[in-house]
Amino acid sequence: MNIRKLGSLEVSGMGLGCLPMVGYYGGGPRDRKAMVSLIRTAFEQGVTFFDTAEVYGPHLSEAFVGEALAPVRDQVVIASKFGFGVEEGQPTALNSHPDHIRRAVEGSLKRLKTDHIDLLYQHRPDPKVPIEDVAGAIKDLIQAGKVKHWGLSEASATTIRRAHAVHPVAAVQSEYAMWWREPETRIFPTLEELGIGFVPYCPTARSFLAGAVNPSHRFDQTDRRHNLPRFQPDALRINMALLEFARDWARRKNTTAVQFALAWVIAQRPWIVPIPGTTQYPHLIENIGAVNVQLTANELREIDAGLAKITLRGGRADPFTESQFDRS
């Protein structure tokens, strides 16, 4: 697989998101041995970039990643995140106090079976803690050798600049897909100016662009999509036009809709590395195959023109989640 750079950090051109493995989209946590095997298969297929977080589970995803990658630790890049009050038993509350960061990192290191985290993100900016204090705490961890690079998730351009001024930021993570393109105007110019990489999560629109849902689909309470406005039945009926658009282009390119969606993300900038998640071997192989789908400049312009004609309904997040996004 080709290599891309997030700041000065080299990673495979596509990563693996390890959140779905804990049952984020329903069905409960997946079998440990199966997930360890899946992660190792990703590595054997050329993936060297693995994304997790202490809050995923909590702790379970990091444990899967740690066990799977211990034998090849020096050949992979592990990204994890702090920023929620997991250590204090408050996993939905933001917490980026420096003492919490230090405790969170120590716990992550143990679960990941490693002495350092290659890329450590602040999961969400904490309005109660100045980003300069957060950056200072991370800088100390970097100087101690426990962290190699750091990043932000769902941060504004203002926050990114303030953080970068204290210690260089390697990457910023945010939701990004054909149906959610706000980062292009909100943070892309800042990332390009500062030489920061971009790591899109949910690049296949939470499997919508894989054709996994339709207007008759009903999500139970254990599936993250159950209360997302864009996945409500009335919204899905409108939004199916985007899936048909992706399918039409997939036929033109002799590929699948999900591979086309991922190839489109990858083609947007040379410093973008998507992290699609999965719990199934066939989907893993399909996702990885997207790196072989090439889109020309003319095709990208045609795709943009087509996307501009599609009306979408529903926001990307529920009100509580929206309240934790950085709009500074």
pLDDT tens string 68-86: 999 999 999 999 999 999 9
What does the H/E/C string look like for 36-96? HHHHHHHHHCCCCEEECCCCCCCCHHHHHHHHHHHHHHHHCEEEEEECEEHHHCEEEEECC
> What count of other Cβ atoms lies within 10 Å of the Cβ of residue 45?
16
Predicted local distance difference test score (pLDDT) of residue 240? 98
Contact 116, 86 (CB under 8 A): no
Q: What average pLDDT does the segment 20-34 reach? A: 97
Half-sphere exposure (Cβ direction) of 258: Cα atoms closer than 13 Å: 22
- Residue 205: pLDDT band with limits 50, 70, 90: very high
Residue 132 pLDDT: 98
On whether the CB atoms of residues 151 and 199 are closer than 8 A, the answer is yes
pLDDT digits (tens, 9 = 90+) for 145-172: 999 999 999 999 999 999 999 999 999 9
Of the residues 24, 25, 56, 201, which is catalytic? 56
d(C-alpha 48, C-alpha 76), whole Å: 5
pLDDT score at 325: 96
Q: What is the CATH number of domain 3-323?
A: 3.20.20.100
The question of whether 176 is a catalytic residue gets the answer: no
Cα within 13 Å of Cα(80), Cβ side:
35
SS3 311: coil
| Model confidence, pTM | 0.98
In the chain the beta strands, taken as DSSP E runs, fall at 3-6, 9-12, 16-17, 49-51, 77-82, 84-85, 90-94, 117-122, 147-153, 171-175, 197-201
With beta carbons less than 8 A apart as the criterion, state whether 259 and 265 touch: no
Listed in sequence order, the residues at least 6 apart from 251 whose beta carbon sits closer than 8 Å to its beta carbon are none
> What integer best gives the mean pLDDT of the chain?
98
> What pLDDT score was predicted for residue 327?
92
H or E segment and range at residue 131: helix 131-143
**In the structure, what pLDDT confidence band is assigned to residue 289 with cuts at 50, 70 and 90?**
very high
> Where residue 13 falls among pLDDT bands split at 50, 70, 90?
very high
pLDDT in tens, 219-271: 999 999 999 999 999 999 999 999 999 999 999 999 999 999 999 999 999 99
pLDDT of residue 30: 98
Q: What angle do CA 74, 147, 107 make, to 5 degrees?
A: 95
Confidence (pLDDT) at 45: 98
- What's the mean pLDDT in 34-61? 98
In this prediction, residues 30-46 reach a mean pLDDT of 98
- Return the percentage of the chain with pLDDT > 90, whole number: 99
